[in-house]
């Protein structure tokens, strides 16, 4: 359920600048969008992102959360300017379904009992073939559920913190059970707010782009291309007035005169989404106060920007520059 919004000021927005995400043209979306791809087995995540980049004729594309070449499932790919926002989901929680094969037949009840012991913080050593330095690290498993068991074959569902190695988890399960085990297949089913059922295959993406280009059929590709704002759907929002947008784009912190609406439930230090009154993402920042204190503050800093996604001059400049040309902190 969406959090309740505190109205700080009944501000309005000027239609002469900016644009609601749902009103963007197809060409605007193609220049900056998110695509949820159902990655096939075989190619690397980097190769999949490169193929998407080439389909769009874009200068750049990137992905969040690497999948091994043989793993399949949800890969979040950003195209064009949206690549700046990928870090917002790089550390997001993940969900998987894995096929584990044990060296001997397994009692499902023993497996369920051991699986419960793995819920919580686990100490892991990255696999030898991983791209990161092999040092022990703690990762959190939120849920480990036995879906099916038949002889040596077990199907499990895992919800976990980013950076959890499911291959290592499978081997550790076998170690605790006293039976060797390895991960045969892995399919990612979720990343933060995104689910595998929303993803499309590379061939479906290619066909949808061709239909839009050659036949003028834009409906399907519009269902596939997602605005960058979707990456912020899990964040609490601070909505700002038009007069504060450009100052924020230049790095100025948000002060009380620039705030219009604030979601309830924001704690001091939390990462929040900075949004326009039209629903556009300006960027993200760190809350300096709670929601309630922001709503009643008359001075001081409400939010300090940490990553800006909107290009400067999207909204008109309405702040006074310092002697060096940087904005004063009046947003």
Distance CA 259, CA 243 (A): 10
Q: Each residue of 81-140: pLDDT tens digit?
A: 999 999 888 889 999 999 999 999 989 999 999 999 999 999 998 776 665 666 888 999
Distance CA 283, CA 36 (A): 21
Q: Which residues of 33-65 are buried (b: 16+ CB within 10 A; e: fewer)?
A: bbbbbbbeeeeebeebbbbbbebbebeebbbbb
Q: Is 68 a catalytic residue?
A: yes
Mean pLDDT of the residues in the chain: 92
Q: How confident is the model at residue 325 (pLDDT cuts 50, 70, 90)?
A: very low
Q: Which of 68, 230, 242, 263 is catalytic?
A: 68
> Is domain 94-191 classified as CATH 3.20.20.80?
no
Question: Distance from CA of residue 228 to its chain's centroid?
Answer: 10
Domain at 5-19+231-308, CATH class: mainly beta
Write down the residue that tokens 């439930």 correspond to.
Answer: 265
Q: Each residue of 268-308: pLDDT tens digit?
A: 999 999 999 999 999 999 999 999 999 999 999 999 999 99
What Å distances lie between residue 84 and 54, 72, 89, 282, CA to CA? 18, 25, 11, 12
What Å distances lie between residue 104 and 101, 112, 152, 174, CA to CA? 9, 16, 6, 10
Average pLDDT over residues 68-82: 96
Mean pLDDT lowest among 132-136, 171-175, 231-235, 298-302: 132-136
Model pTM greater than 0.75?
Answer: yes
pLDDT of residue 106: 87
Domain at 25-90+195-226, CATH class: alpha beta
Domain limits, the chain: 5-19+231-308, 25-90+195-226, 94-191
Residue 185, token pair as written in the block: 């297949």
User: Nearest to residue 194, comparing CAs of 63, 20, 31?
Assistant: 63
Distance CA 153, CA 32 (A): 43
Distance CA 68, CA 167 (A): 10
Question: Distance from CA of residue 207 to its chain's centroid?
Answer: 25
Q: Which pairs count as long-range contacts for 122-130, CB under 8 Å and 24+ apart, including other chains? A: 122/164, 122/169, 122/172, 124/164, 124/165, 124/168, 124/169, 124/172, 125/168, 126/165, 126/168, 127/165, 127/167, 127/168, 130/165
């Amino acid at each position: 359920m969406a959090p309740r919004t505190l109205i700080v000021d009944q501000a309005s927005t000027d239609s002469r600048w900016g644009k609601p995400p749902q009103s963007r043209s197809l060409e605007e979306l193609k220049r900056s969008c998110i695509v949820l791809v159902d990655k096939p087995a075989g190619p690397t995540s980097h190769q999949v992102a490169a193929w998407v980049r080439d389909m769009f004729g874009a200068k750049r594309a990137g992905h969040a959360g690497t999948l091994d070449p043989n793993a399949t499932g949800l890969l979040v790919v950003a195209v064009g300017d949206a690549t700046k926002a990928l870090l917002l989901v790089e550390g997001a929680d993940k969900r998987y379904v894995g096929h584990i094969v044990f060296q001997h037949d397994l009692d499902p009840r023993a497996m369920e009992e051991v699986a419960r012991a793995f819920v919580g913080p686990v100490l892991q050593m990255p696999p030898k073939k991983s791209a990161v330095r092999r040092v022990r690290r703690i990762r959190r498993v939120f849920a480990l559920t036995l879906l099916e068991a038949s002889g040596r074959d077990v199907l499990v569902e895992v919800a976990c913190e980013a950076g959890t190695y499911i291959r290592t988890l499978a081997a550790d399960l076998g170690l605790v059970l006293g039976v060797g085990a390895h991960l045969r297949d892995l399919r990612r089913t979720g990343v933060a707010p995104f689910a595998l059922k929303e993803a499309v295959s590379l061939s479906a993406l290619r066909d949808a782009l061709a239909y839009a280009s050659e036949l003028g059929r834009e409906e399907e590709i519009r269902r596939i291309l997602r605005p960058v704002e979707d990456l912020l759907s899990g964040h609490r929002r601070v909505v700002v007035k038009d007069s504060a947008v450009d100052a924020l784009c230049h790095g100025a912190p948000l002060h009380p005169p620039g705030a219009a609406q604030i979601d309830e439930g924001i704690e001091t230090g939390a990462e929040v989404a900075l949004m326009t009154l039209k629903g556009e993402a300006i960027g993200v920042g760190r809350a300096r106060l709670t929601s309630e204190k922001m709503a009643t503050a008359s001075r001081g800093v409400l939010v300090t920007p940490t990553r800006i996604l909107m290009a400067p001059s999207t909204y008109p400049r309405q702040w006074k520059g310092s002697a060096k040309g940087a904005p004063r902190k009046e947003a």
